Amino acid sequence: MSSPSTPRLQPFIVPGGLRGTLATLPVPDLLRELQLSEAKGILSLTSDRVKKALFFNEGKVVFGTSNVSTDRLGEVLLAEGKITREQNDLSLRALSGGKRQGRVLVEMGALSPDDLWTGVQSQVQEIVLGVFNWGEGQFHFEASPLPERERITVDLDVTALVLEGLRRLDAGGWVRVRHPDGHLVLEQGPTSAEGLLHPFEEHVVGLVDGERSVIEICHESEVGDNQTLKLLYAFLVTGIARSKGRKVQTLDQDFVPADTTYAVLESFNQMYRFIFTYMVKEVGPIAENVLAKYLGTVRETRPEVLEGVKLRSDGAVDDGTIERNVGRLPEEERRGRLVGALNELLYAELLAVKRTLGEQHEGTIIRALRPR
């Protein structure tokens, strides 16, 4: 039986299946790739001592197992109010001869057959959703048929699972490193979102029009930068949205010095000061709040460089904080990450000028900043 294969899965192919780490291919992305591959087999997930297994058939999750006590069927039914603690304990004591707890509960009259089937669906869903909090761990997919002893199966759509899993995820957690590039222009993707989104999510997906960049969507969104960026990641993972490409950079990078971090920072800070001074002259002290808001958005997309960074009173960024952040990155990545983040902030500030003052003022600043 062949292994699932999409371009993103190619690096993880091993004989008989797939193997890799969740830091490299996070759970939402992994589930999506298995969906696209119409995978059939068992996905084993481990993190520390926690072990879970998800059974796939034609790209859908049909069963799941877990060694976490709260994932057991009885505990799920108890949490949903379908059975009592006493009924749960009695059913566990009555297990024998290979019987499953669900069957025992039905035979006891504690659970209807309908509630058993819906309970198994809730159990499998909770097993899946529990792994979305894992920022680290290992996965192994083995292409194989579903074990014959699993007679009660479900049919869980991966798109709905990914959306729900990311809803439950802390917007400030591991997902921050997966936020899309602020310069990406997003358009509607091939996956239908009909019936899957909450009203606030419909609002954000409505801003995905093939014209707005990620930064522009964040500033139009009413749910805040963190939530918007998490949603855009969810839309990109599931195919509800897709990248149309990057917005053309307003300025090239020929002016960026090739030597020290300090020199790069100072080059950008000169431009930030110029923009700040220009805006203060045109709109007064409100300029500081406007530019700080745009910095906040870029800070969320580029936390590895801009975490904790604020504007100084002259419009420059705090170079000391940035140098500490960059110092934690691998040496070979520092310059590229630094220039990318600072250039994204420059683009965001020019966007602030355009939205606040108009295109004519933006053009004036661009001409003033271009190398001569």
pLDDT score, position 372: 57
CB 6, CB 21: distance < 8 Å: no
Looking at the structure, tell me whether residues 317 and 269 fall in a common domain: yes
pLDDT score, position 199: 96
Number of domains in the chain: 3
d(CA 62, CA 160): 14
Separation of CA 260 from chain center: 33
- Residues forming a β-bridge with 13: 18
The answer to whether residue 162 is domain-embedded is no
pLDDT score, position 93: 85
SS3 content of the chain, % helix, strand, coil (to 5): 50, 15, 35
The answer to whether residue 113 is domain-embedded is yes
Q: Select from 11, 61, 24 the least CA-distant residue to 39.
A: 61
Looking at the structure, tell me whether residues 217 and 326 fall in a common domain: no
142-198 residue pLDDT tens = 988 776 666 677 889 999 999 999 999 988 788 888 888 888 899 999 999 999 999
Average pLDDT, the chain: 89
Looking at the structure, tell me whether residues 151 and 177 fall in a common domain: no
What does each C-alpha distance from 224 to 205, 220, 238, 310, 313 come to in angstroms?
14, 9, 21, 18, 25
CATH number at residue 222: 1.10.10
The answer to whether residue 353 is domain-embedded is yes
Q: Select from 294, 325, 298, 180 the least CA-distant residue to 240.
A: 180
pLDDT score, position 99: 77
Looking at the structure, tell me whether residues 27 and 135 fall in a common domain: yes
High-pLDDT (> 70) share of the chain, %: 94
Looking at the structure, tell me whether residues 110 and 222 fall in a common domain: no
The model's confidence at residue 258, banded by pLDDT at 50, 70 and 90, is: low
Looking at the structure, tell me whether residues 87 and 15 fall in a common domain: yes
Domain boundary among 156, 191, 212: 156
What phi and psi, each to the nearest 5 degrees, are found at residue 83?
-135, 170
d(CA 339, CA 346): 10
307-342 residue pLDDT tens = 999 999 999 999 889 999 999 999 888 888 898 899
> Has residue 6 got a pLDDT over 90?
no
The model's confidence at residue 88, banded by pLDDT at 50, 70 and 90, is: confident
Burial class (CB in 10 A: 0-12, 13-18, 19+), 332: exposed
The answer to whether residue 255 is domain-embedded is no
High-pLDDT (> 90) share of the chain, %: 54
The answer to whether residue 311 is domain-embedded is yes
Q: What single letter denotes the amino acid at residue 95? A: L
Looking at the structure, tell me whether residues 142 and 54 fall in a common domain: yes
List of residues 6+ apart from 26 with CB closer than 8 A: 135, 174, 178
Looking at the structure, tell me whether residues 142 and 202 fall in a common domain: no
- Please state the rounded mean pLDDT for residues 253-260: 57
4 or 200: which carries more pLDDT confidence? 200
Angle between the 359-369 and 261-283 helix axes, to the nearest 10 degrees? 150
Looking at the structure, tell me whether residues 268 and 356 fall in a common domain: yes
What domain range is 214 assigned to? 170-246
The answer to whether residue 40 is domain-embedded is yes
Domain boundary among 198, 213, 246: 246
Looking at the structure, tell me whether residues 273 and 182 fall in a common domain: no
Looking at the structure, tell me whether residues 312 and 335 fall in a common domain: yes
pLDDT score, position 250: 53
Looking at the structure, tell me whether residues 116 and 44 fall in a common domain: yes
The answer to whether residue 41 is domain-embedded is yes
d(CA 126, CA 275): 50
Domain boundary among 91, 125, 156: 156
What does each C-alpha distance from 297 to 172, 190, 202, 352, 366 come to in angstroms?
13, 27, 21, 12, 21
The answer to whether residue 276 is domain-embedded is yes
